[in-house]
Amino acid sequence: MKTRARTRKVLAADNGDNQVGVVKQDTEVSPRCRIELVYSRRGKKSEPVIDVTGSVTNSLPCYLSDMSRKVQSKRKRKSDDEEELCKPRQKLDSGLFGEYLEKIWSFSEEKRRRCTFFDSLWFSLYRRDSCKDKVLTWIKKAHIFSKAYVFVPIVCWGHWSLLIFCHFGESAQTNTRSRCMLLLDSLAMANPRRLEPEIRRFVLDIYQASDRPETKKIISRIPLLIPKVPQQRDGNECGNFVLYFIKLFLSLAPDDFSMEGYPYFMKKDWFTHEDLDKFCEGLDSMG
């Protein structure tokens, strides 16, 4: 039995001129499509962290419940006049994340034609067999193979990271344009590479559902690059990091991404925590 719920679906839609638009719609969601995230790693079975469509709530800290204490224990203790402690931020759920993403998606018409993004729930829904075909249908309508960059927010185990598809429509790699994937993660201590098997299954299904000519062997060889980017300070910042990754990447990324130029600007000193705080203050004012 399906339940009727008002949900905000952010769909990458082709408006006829290859410009990406945002479509809001009401949709019927099967209870089987709800995403049940992991419980505490201590093994206690409490209530799963879900909403009507699998939106991640802020009741579960980012991946490690005691991460903040671990990070703080490694820092040198300083007096209050030497270091100002950052104010803890509420963790973003998928609804608020989507609203912020729409608001920062303000770039030139050319970039909007060359880039698109997935709804933050699509990857999580894809992981459920009952929802996989529906997600692949949505992606097929997004025409991602005509885009230079496709941003795929991922939320798994209560943690946000960002996957970027680069030049997926290219049939061959050249010195100036490389078909590859980037995984930007602000919590390297959680081992971002653990997502690679699921990401590769996801990508393979996207190619096959879109009737692309690439063989399974070719698709399996698409590089997955994980640059060393700035790291979060507590268990709530990961969603804000992903939004800031998207904003800065679109501002700085070259028209043609090449393996020879990697990692470009994506380094540990890409931006400071102060830069992130100012960005978050701007998000707060948008709300």
Quick: pLDDT tens for 82-96: 344 445 677 899 999
Is residue 40 within 8 Å of 65, Cβ to Cβ?
A: yes
Assess if residue 53 is contained within a domain.
no
User: How much is the average pLDDT of 199-208?
Assistant: 98
Assess if residue 196 is contained within a domain.
yes
Q: What is the pTM of this model?
A: 0.76
What pLDDT is attached to residue 132? 97
Lowest mean pLDDT across 10-14, 73-77, 159-163: 10-14
Given a cut of 70, is residue 234 above it in pLDDT?
yes
Assess if residue 58 is contained within a domain.
no
Assess if residue 17 is contained within a domain.
no
Both tokens of 69, joined, read 């204490």
What pLDDT is attached to residue 286? 73
Assess if residue 77 is contained within a domain.
no
Between 132-140 and 196-209, two packed helices, what is the crossing angle to 10 degrees? 60
What pLDDT is attached to residue 207? 97
What pLDDT is attached to residue 147? 96
Q: How far apart are CA 282 and CA 287, in angstroms?
A: 9
Given a cut of 70, is residue 267 above it in pLDDT?
yes
Given a cut of 50, is residue 38 above it in pLDDT?
no
Distance set, CA 272 to CA 163, 201, 203, 212, 243 (Å): 21, 34, 32, 41, 15
User: How much is the average pLDDT of 134-143?
Assistant: 97
What pLDDT is attached to residue 61? 53
What pLDDT is attached to residue 7? 42
**Higher per-residue pLDDT: 71 or 170:** 170
Assess if residue 11 is contained within a domain.
no
pLDDT, averaged across the chain? 78
Which CATH number characterizes residue 209's domain? 3.40.395.10
Given a cut of 90, is residue 53 above it in pLDDT?
no
Assess if residue 200 is contained within a domain.
yes
Residue with tokens 């270091």: 83
What pLDDT is attached to residue 84? 43
Which of 16-25, 33-42, 173-182, 258-267 is predicted most confidently?
258-267
Given a cut of 90, is residue 2 above it in pLDDT?
no
Both tokens of 72, joined, read 């703080």
Full residue range of the structural domain in which residue 239 is found: 92-284
Tens of pLDDT, residue by residue over 184-194, are 999 999 999 99
Is residue 144 within 8 Å of 150, Cβ to Cβ?
A: yes
Residue with tokens 């093994």: 43
Lowest mean pLDDT across 2-11, 57-66, 94-103: 2-11
Contacts 24+ apart (CB under 8 A), 258-261: 258/175, 258/176, 258/177, 258/178, 259/173, 259/178, 259/180, 259/223, 260/175, 260/178
Residue with tokens 């490389």: 178
Assess if residue 249 is contained within a domain.
yes
Cβ partners under 8 Å of residue 52, min gap 6: 3, 5, 7, 29, 34
Please tell me the total count of domains within the chain. 1
User: How much is the average pLDDT of 17-37?
Assistant: 40
